[in-house]
Structure 1
Amino acid sequence: MFDNMVKMGVKPDRTGPLLLLWSMHVASHSGLVQNPWKYRTGEKSSLYALLSSIYGAIGKWELVEKVRHLMDKRQVKKKQILFDLNENCGETFPGCDYRPTDRKNWMASLGPKDLHINNIVWPTTHNSATDRIGIPCISRPFAQCQTLSIYQQLALGTRVLDIRVNENNRVCHGILLTYNIDVVINDVKKFLFETTSEVIILQIRTEYGHRDPPEFEDYLEEKLSMYLIHQDDYVFGKTIAELLPKRIICVWKPRNSPQPKPGSPFWSAEYLKDNWIDTDLPSTKFDSNLKYLSDQAPVSSRYFFYRVENTVTAQPDNPVVCVRPVTGRIHGYARLFINRCFAEGCANRLQVFSTDFIGGDFVDACVGLTHARVHGEC
């Protein structure tokens, strides 16, 4: 395989050997190792996707295209349930055509006096602080869920952040580390300083396998006290105008320390719930999200935030384990999901909507639905 790669113009570099060894390990029982271009028809599409991921990682896009042509020639089938559903059902819903003129200030544009906390569809990022996680080109592709900084995400329109920390105040994703939590806090404060009416939900939790940072609540209160909205069920029925100048709902989820109590500057984990489905199958995740969302009470009578993750997760039995190609299987179907929420009668339950690699269209979809709710269109 190495000889074939060299013949095709792939020059060895620091990522090449690692990618080669990894690919040989996961594909050791397939003909791909001996000769990827003479592999028999009818094999799993995941192995072709593996080759495509390897070539893409080292910038050989002409080889990526060759793999894709080979897949078409050999009629390698891909799962396209959501693609077909999107073709048949479309992406329309109340507010789908609305585009905020200023994503950075979209809450202010909708009107703080008209925007109730429980009526907002909150654009959310999954594993928000992973833009610089791990080592570039080596470990980063396996853990990076966002490419934008925290400040850039907020300026784009994100209003819920998902932050994981370890005992040393470092942000992490599993065993991989990135910057200190100070970087997140400073970006949040910078954004709030530059805006006047934007409210954010800041979820911080101790990552699995780690201990709580010492005296972390004291640290957060010292840094954010002027913005913190205290834990209170009545907040859900209030407008943004009624909460100002307070602008952060901070959900703190420690692993060992006591949970925040009512009246505290911090909100306990019970105020931000979800049903995590650990799968790399987009249609399975999509259908499960709809089912669990349908089980929730409408936002008007609910005293907690409920999150839906428009993401899928790499699995050990599949050779494609980099975040972007895996989550990309569902990434483009956020608007379809909202469409199906209306079709299934559960659109009035959608509230915190999360994605990997957030972009403007995802934000616009959430803001558009929020706009429709504010104006009584749904």
Structure 2
Amino acid sequence: MGSEVSKQVERRKAIAAEKKTLCDLHQSCGEEFPSCAYKPSDRKNWMAGVNPDKLHINKIVWPGTHDSATNKIGVPCITRPFAQCQNLSIYQQLEKGTRVLDIRIQEDRKVCHGILLTYNIDVVINDVKKFLSETQYEIIILEIRTEFGHEDPPEFDKYLVDQLGEFLIPQDDHVFDKTISELLPKRVICVWKPRKSPQPKAGSPLWNAGHLRDNWIDTDLPSTKFESNLKNLSNQPPASSRKFFYRVENTVTPQADNPVLCVKPVTGRIHGFARLFITQCFSKGIADRLQIFSTDFIDEDFVDACVAVTYARVEGKA
């Protein structure tokens, strides 16, 4: 018993020290980067505002959400706090400026996060289609994967094509060099990541797992995650020369050996340091590698920061 208490005391000290490390870095470096003050006049249509004729896919810094469809997961006030990473619906996230969605499903097509369940995938697809019907120039990356420990839904690739076919941008490495205007009226890059079923092939309406990569680490320590994100990003080629999307997640994850198991207070340890991360990318000369930047509980400032870097790239300021 005594050793367990001692362990928890040390864990709390480590977390406090890592939060202080980021706060000190923020105090010394600030959060200034090219066009950092830029804010879209209309987040729902921010890609349209940046100029679709000049905005190449490989110049976009895509604001993304982690475990996107968890706003109604589990049982309210009982299991939900342990798995909820977003409190907005998919439509509300898109309206706020989110352009990359991370969806986990199980065999019966219900969205899940581990063992906890929420609505059917149809809810996600309908929200996406509603948003697409109300906008003209916004491109979405829709990543759908079979959750770890679950089986692939039967014929799910056919379902996605049937539902989104008119909007799907086919898997083609030339897409990265094209502008938004050149891709229209196609609007969705759908990455399907089954666990056992065959991966989508080149030319398919769907994209395979190799086209959306990351280096996720399982930690609740904010400075550890922050530094790992910088290191892993520095090992990537510039976005302009990649033929895949690379994601950095500004999140930390509750750990089973820590008494704080609810997502929101844990991920809050790093949530406010998104602009600091972007600033550090510029300071270290790796801002040209930044592409998908995801978060829990997305907010307007996070979106604005991603759009600001995108705008700076288009205007030749970054």
Distance 1:227 1:209 in 2: 31
Q: CA deviation at 1:46?
A: 3.9
**Aligned partner (choices 103, 106, 128) of residue 166 of structure 1:** 106
Equivalent residue for 1:363? Answer: 303
Distance 2:84 2:291 in 1: 25
> What are the Cα deviations for residues 98-117 of structure 1, in whole angstroms up to 9, with x where unaligned?
01010000000111101000
Task: Answer yes or no: is 1:127 the counterpart of 2:95.
Answer: no
Correspondences of 1:163-242 after superposition (within 5 Å): 163-242=103-182
Equivalent residue for 2:225? Answer: 285
> What are the Cα deviations for residues 191-219 of structure 1, in whole angstroms up to 9, with x where unaligned?
00000000000000000010000110111
1:349 maps to amino acid: R
**C-alpha contact (below 8 Å) 1:121/1:350 kept by paired residues:** yes
Task: Answer yes or no: is 1:250 the counterpart of 2:221.
Answer: no
Query: What's the TM-score, normalizing by structure 2?
Result: 0.96
1:106 maps to amino acid: W
Equivalent residue for 2:254? Answer: 314
1:181 maps to amino acid: I
Distance 1:226 1:258 in 2: 23
Distance 2:18 2:282 in 1: 28
Correspondences of 1:286-365 after superposition (within 5 Å): 286-365=226-305
Greater gyration radius = 1
**C-alpha contact (below 8 Å) 1:46/1:319 kept by paired residues:** no
| Uncovered stretches (5+) of structure 1, i.e. residues with no partner | 1-25, 32-41, 50-75
Distance 1:355 1:27 in 2: 37
- The secondary structure found in structure 2 opposite 1:230 is coil
| Uncovered stretches (5+) of structure 2, i.e. residues with no partner | none
**C-alpha contact (below 8 Å) 1:174/1:208 kept by paired residues:** yes
Pick closer, same or farther for the CA change 1:45–1:257 going to 2, 3 Å: closer
1:371 maps to amino acid: Y
1:154 maps to amino acid: L
Distance 1:370 1:78 in 2: 30
- The secondary structure found in structure 2 opposite 1:80 is helix
Distance 2:2 2:35 in 1: 46
1:101 maps to amino acid: S
> What are the Cα deviations for residues 6-43 of structure 1, in whole angstroms up to 9, with x where unaligned?
xxxxxxxxxxxxxxxxxxxx999659xxxxxxxxxx95
Equivalent residue for 2:43? Answer: 103
Distance 1:88 1:269 in 2: 39
Structure number with the bigger relative contact order (C-alpha 8 A, sep ≥ 6) is 2
**C-alpha contact (below 8 Å) 1:331/1:355 kept by paired residues:** yes
Pick closer, same or farther for the CA change 1:77–1:109 going to 2, 3 Å: closer
2:151 maps to amino acid: R
Distance 2:260 2:152 in 1: 32
Task: Answer yes or no: is 1:375 the counterpart of 2:312.
Answer: no
Distance 1:350 1:122 in 2: 9
Distance 1:135 1:377 in 2: 47
Report the count of equivalent residues: 316
Q: CA deviation at 1:79?
A: 3.8
Query: What's the TM-score, normalizing by structure 1?
Result: 0.81
**C-alpha contact (below 8 Å) 1:171/1:179 kept by paired residues:** yes
| Structure 1 runs of 4+ with >6 Å offset | 26-29
Distance 1:44 1:253 in 2: 38
Pick closer, same or farther for the CA change 1:193–1:79 going to 2, 3 Å: closer
